[in-house]
Every structure is written in structure tokens, then in C-alpha cells.
Chains A and B, each alone.
Chain A
Amino acid sequence: MSGNKSGKLSYGMVIDVDKCTGCMTCAVACQQENNVPFREDETNKVRSITWLEVFYLDNGKSYPDHRKAYLPRPCLQCDADPYPPCTFVCPVNATQRDEETGLVSHIPVRCIGCRYCISACSYHARYFNWWDPKWPKPMEEMLTPEVSTRMRGVVEKCTFCVHRLQLAKDKAFAEGRRELDDGEYVPACVEACPAKAMVFGNLSDSHSEVAKLAKSPKAFRLLERLGTKPKVIYLSGQEWIHKLADNVI
């Protein structure tokens, strides 16, 4: 069923769209955590880098039946068998799914910037650095040392904050543990969400909250028909949101 071979660990995320208030804290926390560059004009959304992007949805109806919702979209960490679309096309092996964790990594220093993966991704989750990142003078001090900065000409994307997994493992190893406890590894977006609309954990562990939520009748995945098997699962009780998820984004 899953492309992830170990079957023991499969990190995934459940985002409750009905609980999401559209506050965008997840996106801001992500940018801060992952040294995502920012420019004076970020309104050309094709060239703006947002590892976690927030999609705007509405039911298309007119006043006063109009309803909108926001849908946070990190990298969906596709579990497609045998490869996620992006890693399949990479000519230099710069992106790869870690079969022990299910995480789809992207190593910018290895990337040659061909952007093949960008066209392969169905979710616009990958971004190209059209410019060298620049931080106005003292802002370099706020860069997270656990995430390397990128450069012009390479692709980057959400990694589910894999450096947090590395740090969590470091701590566990130092304490003589091989296994991580629940909640020891949580991406920045999930941690920051003030409405607690995002849940993160091991989808392979049937006792985990994510695994339970993923089985909810309200659950859906984006563009499910493509068979990309995203490990980011959305919840909503709204039919129009389910419909949009399948067809439009």
C-alpha cells in the first residue's frame, strides 16, 4: 500500500481545514525556522518562496452565500510507489524519499536547478531561487543554524523540518534511546498553530493521533486521483472543500 518500505515510521500530518482560522502563523513560523528568504516585492506568487503556502478557497457563491476557507499546504511528502513524482525525475539524486521515515528530502547544494521536479510536483510545493537570498544587515543573526541557507539557482521545499528530527534523535541518542517519544519531533508549523488545527506524527502507528484522524470520514487528500499518496491529510466537513481538493488546486 505504501511506497515507504520500512513500514515502521511514516511521518505525516493531518490538517483540520475547519479548525484552521487562516491566521497564517504556520507559514510565518516556517519561514523563520527554515531561513526562507524574503524580498521587497513578493507579490509575484510564481517566484515567491513559501515552503508552507496557504491556499485560498471559496465556494464560488455570491453574497451572502459566499464562504471561504484557507488551506495550508506544506510539502505533502508523497508516498507514491515506487517514487514520489519529484524524486523520480531528479537527474542528480538531490531529492529522495527516506524509506525509513517516509520524508521526502531535498538537498539544495546537490541541486543543479533544472527545475524538473517543480514541473513534476502536482502541488506547487517546490520553489526555485530566482535570486540570491539577502538578509538586511543584522537579520543574519536570526538565521537558524540547523538549516543551511540556499543560493540562487537551486530548488527548495518544505522538509517537514527534518532538522528537528535530527535534533530530536540527537537528544534521544545522548540519553541512550533509539526510539523517539511522541511529540519529540514536530515541525515548526504544527508547533506554532494557535488553533491546534495541525497534528503531526507517525501514520504507521495505529495508536497515534494522526493515524486515527487520517481514518476520519472527514479526511481527504489533495488531488487524490493522481495516486501521489500524500502524507498530508486534510479534514473538513464541508463538501465544497472536498470537491475543490479533488479538482481545482
Chain B
Amino acid sequence: MTGENKQQNSGLLGWALFVVGFAGALFVGWIVFPQLLYSTKYQPINYNHAIHQEEAGMSCEDCHFFREDGTYAGKPKLAACAECHSEPQGETEDEAKLVSEYVEPEKEIPWISYSRQPDNVFFSHAAHVKMAEMDCTDCHRDVEGQTKAPPVKINRLTGYPNEVMKMYVCEDCHAQENVSNACDVCHK
């Protein structure tokens, strides 16, 4: 009996260890790994979308617009900021930083893109926004009313932000919408 008991005990322990291993791995895989995989970067200036929309009365297109050649200017240049912020308008620290560190020395702000695609991808905003009439928020975070620029999670292995759309998402939608999935539609 003792032998059996021993065996039983050890069996239980074994299964307990199995659960520990299982749960531990799940914990590592779901919680720890993402923490390790991504580094967190903060925007050089904590841009406040809400204040620009509400108080300055600006529209999205003032900063995010199509260039004349049909390409999309995702992030505004410093010149656009400098139009109003040649001197601080308010009293926030970020604005003071904008003026002293960027506007005055005429240095472009090194914004970090949340959705920078790899070099080999050609993404046409015109095709999606003008032709397919998609909303910006179908792919991007809704910035309306946002007062803080969220930190950017950068994948340590790939170097791309976590919000970057993956190829299967593109392919699925193209297939659904009966749009060509030929390589050279998106790749260069």
C-alpha cells in the first residue's frame, strides 16, 4: 500500500506540477512575454488633440492631409506648428518645450509613428480613404477628444510599433472587397 500511496502522492504532485507548469507558461506567454517584447516610447511632446480641436478650432485636415501628388502627409511638419506656436500660447510644459526645443532652433519634431509600415510596403491612403471611403478610425485610434498622446509600444524584435497592421489583415479585407491581392499592389 505504501508503495501505491507513494505513487498516488507523487501522481497528484505530478499533476499539480503540470498545472503549475501550464499556468506558469500561460502567465509568461500572455502577461510577461508581451511586457518583454515591447518597449515603451513616449512622444517627444505630449500632443493634445482635444485642445487643438476644441479651443483652436482646428480640423483634422489642417494637419493630416493629402499632398498634391495624392500621397498622404501623415504627420504635420514643424512649420505647421510654428504658424501658431512661435511663442507659447498657453502655460503647459509641453508647449514650452515645443517652442524652445523645436520651433526656435527650427528642428523637426521626431514624432514616433504608431503605424509605420516596413520599407517594402506601399500603402495608399488615397485608395482606402477616397476610393473605398473607409474611415480613419477603421485602422487608426480615434484621437477625437484625446488629451494625451499614448505611449508607443515598439516590438523589440521587429522594430515596428504594435499597432502596425499585419499583411493577413490587408489580404482578408482585399479578398472580401474583391480587390486585387497581387503582390505589387502593396509591395515595392
Contacts and interface: CB of A to CB of B under 8 A. Distances in A.
Contacts of B183: 93-96, 98, 105, 107, 110
Q: Name which of A93, A94, A103, A148 has the most chain B CB atoms within 10 A of its CB.
A: A148
Nearest to A144: B188
The size class of the interface chain A forms with chain B is 20 to 34
Interface in A153-203: 159, 162-163, 165-167, 169-176, 178
Interface residues of B, number: 21
B180 A169 contact: no
Contacts of A149: 119
B120 A170 contact: no
A170 B131 contact: no
Contacts of A132: none
B120 A173 contact: no
B111 to A, nearest CB: 17
Interface stretch (B17-25, B66-74, B90-98, B100-108): B66-74
Contacts, number: 81
Contacts of B182: 96, 98-101, 105
B70 A175 contact: yes
B184 interface: yes
A169 B184 CA distance: 13
B130 A176 contact: yes
A120 to B, nearest CB: 18
Interface string A76-110: 00000000000000000111101111010101111
B188 A170 contact: no
Interface of A: 93-96, 98-101, 103, 105, 107-110, 146-149, 159, 162-163, 165-167, 169-176, 178
What 6 A-B pairs are tightest by C-beta distance, nearest first? A174-B70, A171-B70, A105-B184, A173-B126, A98-B182, A170-B70
Interface of B: 66, 69-71, 118-120, 122, 124-127, 130-131, 180, 182-185, 187-188
